[in-house]
Amino acid sequence: MNFFFCVHPTREEARALHAELNEYVSSLGAKETFDPALADFTVAIGGDGTVVAACRLSDAPVIGINAGTLGYLARIEPQNAKDALLAVMKGEYGVEKRMTLLCGPAGGEKTTALNDAVLSKADAGVIRFSVTVDGIELMRYTADGIIAATPTGSTGYSLSAGGPIVDPAGENIILTPVSPHTLINRPIVLSAQSKVTLVCETDALISLDGSARPLSAGSPYEISRSDRYMRFVTFGRESFIARLRKKLS
C-alpha cells in the first residue's frame, strides 16, 4: 500500500508527525510514495488548507490529520493518527464524497475548486458586477466581492462573510456577497445544477480555493458543478452536526 504525504510546509509539528507516521506505516509493510499518481491514499497533515492542497495533487482518498487550528476537513487529531492509518490498512474505514465546482472563463479552460470561487478587488475600492444564474440576471452588485461556495466551503470564507452552514453531504452552490453596498445582502443557496456567470465592470481577481488569478473587465466567468468529486476517508459514524458542535463550542 502506498501513502502520499502532503505536509504543511512551515509547521514543525506537522513535519515531525510526518516523519513519525512514515516510519510507522513502513513498519507495517506500507511505504511512502512521492508520486501522487501512485498513491492508494493521500495523508494531509496540517489544517484545512493542507487538505485542499492535497486534493489538488492527488485523486486518491484523503486522510486529513489536524496539525492546524480549526479543522473541518482535517478531522483526525495527531494522537489518533496511527490508529487511523492502521484502520485504513485493515480496510476498516469509509469514504465520503464531496462535490466540487468547475470554474473558468466562458469558452476557456476550466479548473475545479473544492471550497469556493471568490470574486474580489484587484486594487482599492469596491467592484461592480452582475450575477446571472441559468441565463437569467439575478442581481447587479456594488460590493467588495462575492463567494460561490460548495457545502464543504460553507464553513470557510463564506461563513465569515455571513453565509449559511450547509451539510457537506449535500450538493449546492452558495452565493454570499462580501460587504455589499445595498440593503439586499442575503446569501442565496442554489441547486447544484445551476450555472452561475459573473461579469465585472472592472479588472478583478478570481480566487479558487485561495489561489488568485486575474479577471479582465467584461469577461464572463462561469461557475457550475464539476463531475469530479473529492473523496475523504472517514471512521465511525460521527454526524456533521456533532462535529459542528465540537468545532463551534
Q: In degrees, to the nearest 5, what angle opens at C-alpha 113 toward C-alphas 112 and 115?
A: 160
- Looking at residue 37, its amino acid is A
Tell me the H-state helices in the chain.
12-27, 48-57, 81-90, 157-160, 240-248
Q: How remote is the C-alpha of 23 from its chain's centroid?
A: 29
Could you tell me if 99 and 226 are in contact, meaning their C-beta atoms sit under 8 angstroms apart? yes
SS3 content of the chain, % helix, strand, coil (to 5): 25, 40, 35
CA–CA distance from 216 to each of 98, 136, 194 (Å)? 30, 22, 23
Q: How remote is the C-alpha of 97 from its chain's centroid?
A: 12
Cell of 114: 473544492
| 48 included as an active-site residue | yes
**Phi, then psi, of 235 in degrees rounded to 5:** -135, 135
Exactly one of 35, 40, 48, 209 is catalytic; which is it?
48
Strand partners, 130: 140, 199
HSE of 204 in the Cβ direction (CA atoms, 13 Å)? 29
Cell of 246: 465540537
Where in the sequence numbering do the catalytic residues fall? 48
